[in-house]
Amino acid sequence: MSVTAPQGFEAAGVSAGLKSTGKPDVAVIVNRGPRDTAAAVFTSNRAQANPIMWSKQAISDGSARAIVLNSGGANCFTGSFGFQTTHQTAERAAELLGIGAIDVLVCSTGLIGTGDETFRTRVLDGTERAIAALAADGGERAAAAIMTTDTVPKTAVRARDGWTIGGIAKGAGMLAPGLATMLVVLTTDADLTPEAADAQLRAATRTTFDRLDSDGAMSTNDQVTLLASGASGIVPEPDAFGEELQALCLDLAAQLMRDAEGASHDIRIEVVGAASEDDAVVVGRSVARNNLFKTAIFGNDPNWGRVLAAIGTTDAEFDPYDVDVTINGVRVCTQGGPDRPRDEVDLAPRDTHVLIDLRVGPDAATIMTNDLTHAYVHENSAYSS
C-alpha cells in the first residue's frame, strides 16, 4: 500500500488527460492527522519549476496536510501563468479538503516549457477527481499516476516498534542529485516534530537519493517530501527511525536506478580508503558521470583505465599511481598498474560492482549509476516529440 501503509493517510491516482496514453497522471496524498508535520528537500538547480517555488513557501512552517502531484507536464518555464496554475491547484485541493492552501504542496513532472489553459483545466479537474477517489488503499494508484518514462511504479514500506514508513517515487532519466532526486513522497504515522522530520529526512537523502547519479542531468522539479501523521501515537527512538527511513530511501533509490532509461547495468561505485567522505563522493561521482566508463560497461569491457582517468580529474586527496580498482570481484588494477587479466571479469550480469581503493584514509562512500546505452540516447532524442 506504500504511502497509505502508515495510519492516517489516504491517496488516489486518476487520469486527467495530461498523458496521451490515457494512463493515470494526477495523484493526491492526504494526511488526516492528528499531526500535520512535514519536511522536504528540493533540487539545488537554479532553474526551478513553479511547484518547487510554491512548495518551498508552503512547507516553511514545517507543516502540510496534502500533496498534489501531476505527471505529463513539468510546469517549468511557463511564467506567471504557470505559477498561477500551481497556486490554483493548491487552492482547489484546499477548498475540497477544508484546509488552507498553504497546507497543500504541489509537484509536477514531465516536459519543460509547455503549459496552457488545457493543461491547467486538466490538472484542476484531476485534482478534484483524485480527492473524490481518496482511499486508505490508494497508494499504488498514486504511485502509478506520477510515472513518466518509468516502466514500473516504485514503492516501499518499512515497519518497526509500532510505527510504519511508506514511500513512492518516480524517475527514470534526469537522475542527478541536489539534495533530492526525482519526485518522492514518504509518509509515516510516527509522531515527529518538524525539527525531527527535517533532520531525519536530510540525513536519509544525503546517503541515498543524493548518491544516485544516473546521467549527470539535474532536474528542475526534484522534491522529496516526508509527511508525518502521528496516528500511531508513538514518538520513535531517533536512531531507530533514522535507520528505517534510510533503508526505505535506499530501497527506492535502487528501484530508480534499476528503471533508468535504457540501462542494461546497475552499477555501484564503492570508494574506500578516502581521506574524507566528501573525497569519496567526489571520486565516485566522477566515474558515474564519465561517458567513456559508462559506455565501456555497456559493452561489457572492464576498462579500468577509464576509471583512473576519471578520478584523476578531481581534487580529492590520493596518488593516482597508488590506487586499486576491482570490478565484480576481480582486482584489475593495483597501485596504478595492471593486476589480474581483464578477461577474468564477468560483466554479463546486470548488477555491477566497482571498488576503488584510494589508500589514503578511513572514509568511504558509494555512488549508484548505470551504463550509457543506445536505448538511453534514443529515448531522450525523441522525448518531446
pTM: 0.91
**Which among 167, 182, 177, 179 has a CA at the least distance from the CA of 256?**
182
Domain count, the chain: 2
271 shares a domain with 254:
no
339 shares a domain with 275:
yes
155 shares a domain with 215:
yes
324 shares a domain with 191:
no
Which burial class, exposed, middle or buried, applies to 88 when counting CB atoms under 10 A from its CB (0-12, 13-18, 19+)? middle
pLDDT of 4-57, one tens digit each? Answer: 999 999 999 999 999 888 899 999 999 999 999 999 999 888 889 999 999 999
Phi and psi angles of residue 221, each rounded to the nearest 5 degrees, phi first: -120, 10
**Which among 285, 276, 288, 290 has a CA at the least distance from the CA of 318?**
276
pLDDT of 187-225, one tens digit each? Answer: 999 999 999 999 999 999 999 998 988 777 778 888 999
CATH number for the domain spanning 288: value is 3.10.20.340
Of 9-13, 76-80, 304-308, 330-334, give the lowest mean pLDDT range.
Answer: 76-80
116 shares a domain with 66:
yes
Q: What percent of the chain has pLDDT over 70?
A: 96
Domain boundary among 258, 276, 304: 258
CATH number for the domain spanning 232: value is 3.60.70.12
Q: What is the pLDDT of residue 216?
A: 73
Q: What is the pLDDT of residue 181?
A: 47
Please give the average per-residue pLDDT across 328-341, as a whole number. 96
Domain boundary among 233, 258, 283: 258
Given the residues 89, 164, 181, 369, the one annotated as active site: 181
Mean pLDDT for all residues in the chain = 93
Q: Which domain holds residue 326?
A: 266-381
252 shares a domain with 274:
no
**Which among 148, 145, 158, 174 has a CA at the least distance from the CA of 69?**
145
222 contacts: CB under 8 Å, gap ≥ 6: 42, 43, 45, 52, 178, 179, 180, 181, 182, 183
196 shares a domain with 71:
yes
157: three-class secondary structure by DSSP: strand
Question: Residue 384: pLDDT above 70?
Answer: no
pLDDT band (50, 70, 90) for residue 116: confident
Domain boundary among 258, 278, 305: 258
Q: What percent of the chain has pLDDT over 90?
A: 82
- Report the number of secondary-structure helices (H) and strands (E) in the chain: 10, 15
301 shares a domain with 236:
no
Q: Is 181 a catalytic residue?
A: yes
172 shares a domain with 209:
yes
Question: Which one-letter amino acid corresponds to residue 258?
Answer: R
Centroid of chain to Cα 283:
21
CB–CB of 218/43 below 8 Å? yes
